[in-house]
Structure formats: structure tokens, C-alpha cells
Structure 1
Amino acid sequence: MGEHITLTCKDGQKIGAYVAKPAGTAKGAVVVLQEIFGANQHIRKTADLYASNGYLAIAPALYDRVEPDVELGYTGDDPKKGMEIRAKTELPKTLLDIEAAVDHVKSAGKVGVVGYCWGGSLTFAAACKIPGVAAAAGYYGGQIAGSMLDLKPAAPVILHFGENDHGIPLTDVEKIKAAFPDVPVYVYPGAGHGFNCDERASFQKEAADLARTRTLDFFAKQL
């Protein structure tokens, strides 16, 4: 469904991106932000999903500044490698990459951002810092409670967390609720980290389906 393109960021850096187009006229655009595993097959499938729901979707390769063409899996040494690459990224530069993706698809209408794991945190940061973001849906973003509680969203946001996420305790979720009382925060019973990804052992279909429905309804209202 999609194609690979090259984006040029405001600082001149070039990064890759995957673009998926809807069958008819787009009703808006969605930027899909990766987990720590790169802009891999699952992220491309997620972009395809949003395209199938009528949005022009783009998934920027947010590791390209550090290491081009990273596509990792979910077992063996890949999670460790993903964490090592993510640690080398710099948030201000990553936000430039996301902004380039937003700019590329904004001709389709209002732009939403959705992200998972690391991308869930980046989604929240994008809603606070990137012009042109009209709505943001973040999944299990662990850095929000750790370093983003002083930010202020400039666009509507919803957040999804798993009740049994060992990396994001419910005490952190409560901190987010207290800091952003106007942001709907959904907690999914029995779900762990990565519950949306059907290629991970932590996949929980019921939670993934409900979170996707909520996100699509949210984008339908905001975009």
C-alpha cells in the first residue's frame, strides 16, 4: 500500500519515511511514531491501518540520524540494541524529524500523531512543541511522567496505558492524570507494555482493539 520516501528536515538532515495513502480523498493525516525497534514492519502495518481508515499516513524513520534503516524484532538481542540506539538520539533533533513528517502530509488536512512506547512519549512532546499538530494519541509513553510533566499540550491529547506495564507503574499514570486533568487517560486491565503490537508476546487483542477504536474516534472528531 505504501512507499518509501526521503524527508529533508529544517536543519538539512535527510531521513527516510514510509507513506501510506488512502483509497480516496484523505480526510486528514496521521504521523505514526515508532517504538524503540525502528520504523519496522509493524510500524508500516500501523501506517497502512490508518490509511485504510481514510488518512494519509506517514511513519518517519526516527533512528536515521544515528543509524540508517534500523528494523528490529522483539526477541533476542534486538530489544537491547533498540535501547542502545534510542539512547543516542537527541529529543530536539527527533522533534525536527517529526516536524518534517507533519509538514509533508499537512496538505491532506489536519494532522494527528500517534505513537507507541518511545513514540508514545514523542507523541506527547509533539503535541506540546510542534506547530501543526491538531491531535495526539500516545500509547504507553514512559518518559511522560519522567521528564514531561512541565510541558503544556497545544492540541488535544489522549493517552493509553496497560495496567500491568512493568516499565510504567500506575503511580506514574496517576502523576500524569494529576498534571494534565483535561487529558483523557485510559488504563487497560490486564494489559502490559506493548499491548498494541500483534508481533509481541505482550499483545492483548481486546485492549488493542478498544484503544484503536478510541483513537480512531478521537481523530474523527479532531481531524
Structure 2
Amino acid sequence: MAGWIDIEGEAGAIRGWRVDPAGPPNGAVVVVQEIFGVNPHIREVAARVAQAGYVALAPSLMDAIERGVELDYDDAGIARGREMVARLGFDRAVELVDAAADLLAKEGLRTGAVGFCWGGTVALLANTRLGLPATSYYGGRSVPFLGEPLRAPMLFHFGARDAIIPPADVQAHRAAYPAARLHVYDAGHGFNCDRRADFHAASAALAWTRTLDFLEDALR
């Protein structure tokens, strides 16, 4: 079953796209959006999480500013998305993720987070600030936060040909979090998304397998 639900928290009320697995859940995953909102790509990720046996909940973080925003992967979408996440800020985004995770925890579900791009940085902060096991896909804004210690298992995915995240930044992650799992793929930024020019099917498939292995270790 999939659909929108309401998420109430101290940072305000927003919607979340929830997908439940066919059988008893193995846990739950907060799916953290890119700057483009809870768009078809993020909803597809949530469906894949549910197919793997977890309750998936993708909070619509933009709802805190403007309800129902879904942006395209073009120059206009990038510009508007960047402006909106700048207005939202990381602190409020983490508070909204916390509200989503708390809703799932009240159902007795051990919960982790998976985030992409800007949401990859939010996923890191969900680990350091909320204690959630987390997977970060090409989190391009994480370097300023690498002084925050991990509080749970952590997995990072990066592209070796990412024009946004240079190799020095990837190495900074290795140095800051030697206990974390970190993988680099022969791909560019956004390689998991088949709506982006940098989509790389082989890298996306391998990263997804590693993500599911990580979730099984961290949540079961």
C-alpha cells in the first residue's frame, strides 16, 4: 500500500509518501529527498525499499515552505530547489526527519535513513544528531559537518567522476569516519537516478545491493 500521510512534529506539519511492504516489516527507512522534492524518482526509491521488506517513508520536506513541490532535473528545477533548501536549512530538515522517524519508532520499528544528494547530507546528520543508521548517496554538502561524530552505522556512496564532490572531499569523509563503509563508483553525480544524465545503471545496481546489505545489518 502506498500513499500520502500526515507527519506532525515540532518543526511543523508536512506530508510523507509512505509505502508498506507486502508482509511483516523488517524495520523502517526514512527516504530523504534531493532538492527536487518527493518526486517520482524518490517515490520509486520508496517502493523499492518496501519491496525489500521495510516500511518506507519519504517526508516532503519542502512542505515546510510550500506544499506539494516537485521539480524537474533541469536548470529551472535546480535553481528553485537550491533556493528552497537554503530557506529550509539543515537544522529544520533534520527536525522533520526526526518527526518521520519518531512516527515509525512509535510503531515499534527500528528505523534508518537513506538520502540522496542534498538529502545525503541530511542523512548524515540524521546519524550524527538523531542516532539513525544511515546511507548517504553523493551528499555534496557534508564536508562542513564532518566534525560531528557518528552515533550509528554509516554507509557512503560517491561517484569518482562527480563534478560536485572532488576526490579530496571523499578522502575527508574517509579520514573523518574510518569505521564507516564508503564506496566509490565509476560514475558521476546522481548516478542512482535514471532521470539524470549521470545515471549509471551498473553503479546504481551495485550501490543498491550494498545499501540493502547495510540495512539488513543495521536494522534486523
TM-score class, shorter? over 0.9
Equivalent residue of 1:142, what SS?
A: coil
**Match in the other structure for 2:204:** 208
- 1:88 paired with 2:84, answer no
How many residue pairs get aligned? The number is: 218
1:104-153 CA distances to partner (integer Å, 9 max, x unpaired)? 1122521110000000000000001015x2x11100001111x1111011
Equivalent residue of 1:64, what SS?
A: helix
What is the alpha-carbon distance in structure 1 between the residues aligned to residue 91 and residue 31 of structure 2? 18
What is the alpha-carbon distance in structure 2 between the residues aligned to residue 28 and residue 165 of structure 1? 32
**Match in the other structure for 2:181:** 184
Kindly report which structure 2 residues correspond to 1:3-82, keeping only aligned pairs within 5 A, or say none: 3-11=3-11, 13-82=12-81
Using the aligned pairs only, state the percent identity.
Answer: 41
Equivalent residue of 1:17, what SS?
A: strand
Equivalent residue of 2:61, what SS?
A: coil
What is the alpha-carbon distance in structure 1 between the residues aligned to residue 32 and residue 205 of structure 2? 19
Q: What is the TM-score with the length of structure 1 in the denominator?
A: 0.95
What is the alpha-carbon distance in structure 1 between the residues aligned to residue 19 and residue 99 of structure 2? 16
Q: Is the 8 A contact 1:27 1:108 kept in 2?
A: no
What is the alpha-carbon distance in structure 2 between the residues aligned to residue 154 and residue 138 of structure 1? 15
**Match in the other structure for 1:124:** 124
**Match in the other structure for 1:169:** 166
**Match in the other structure for 2:141:** 143
Q: Which runs of 5+ in 2 are unaligned?
A: none
1:32-67 CA distances to partner (integer Å, 9 max, x unpaired)? 000010111110110011001100000000111122
Bigger drift between 102-111 and 65-74 goes to: 102-111
**Match in the other structure for 1:159:** 156
Equivalent residue of 2:63, what SS?
A: coil
What is the alpha-carbon distance in structure 2 between the residues aligned to residue 17 and residue 5 of structure 1? 5
Kindly report which structure 2 residues correspond to 1:105-120, keeping only aligned pairs within 5 A, or say none: 105-106=104-105, 107-120=107-120
What is the alpha-carbon distance in structure 2 between the residues aligned to residue 222 and residue 183 of structure 1? 12
Bigger drift between 87-96 and 203-212 goes to: 87-96
What is the alpha-carbon distance in structure 2 between the residues aligned to residue 9 and residue 25 of structure 1? 26
Kindly tell me: are residues 192 and 175 of structure 1, through their superposed partners in 2, closer, same or farther at Cα, counting changes over 3 Å?
Answer: same
Equivalent residue of 2:169, what SS?
A: helix
What is the alpha-carbon distance in structure 2 between the residues aligned to residue 10 and residue 67 of structure 1? 17
Bigger drift between 46-55 and 83-92 goes to: 83-92
1:73-124 CA distances to partner (integer Å, 9 max, x unpaired)? 1124111111111111122211110001101112252111000000000000
Equivalent residue of 2:113, what SS?
A: strand
* Structure 2 counterpart of 1:28, one-letter code: G
Q: What is the TM-score with the length of structure 2 in the denominator?
A: 0.96
What is the alpha-carbon distance in structure 2 between the residues aligned to residue 75 and residue 143 of structure 1? 20
Q: Is the 8 A contact 1:56 1:108 kept in 2?
A: no
Equivalent residue of 2:64, what SS?
A: coil
Equivalent residue of 2:114, what SS?
A: strand
